[in-house]
Structure 1
């Protein structure tokens, strides 16, 4: 019975550690958001998009061409 409880503990322990870690990270994110909100939006500037046109790369063009080809059975 001790062996079974030990195996159960070994299986459950990583999940518990992950849950504790996620809660700590969530708490840190909430504190950072509250801290940012308290400072106000004094220095904020509107984000501007790039004026460059977006052209797909050669790799993207090649991959799209390969995906669109039909398989031919002989």
Structure 2
């Protein structure tokens, strides 16, 4: 029974150490697959959101002014 628990603990530790790298590899492969599909022209990548609307430029008269205290 002691040997079984030791083996189980070693497997659990190995899973904890390897899980982040395996997740990264799977993510990289998914990105590579998307890039290959886009290069081939048959992109099945979800639609990209449009950039946010720009607000009109702020007028200088509406900005608060702070006197400078720098003495250079």
TM-score, scaled to structure 2: 0.46
Determine which structure has more spread, i.e. the larger CA radius of gyration: 2
TM-score, scaled to structure 1: 0.45
* Bigger helix share: 1
| Larger RCO: 1 or 2 (CA < 8 Å, sep 6+) | 2
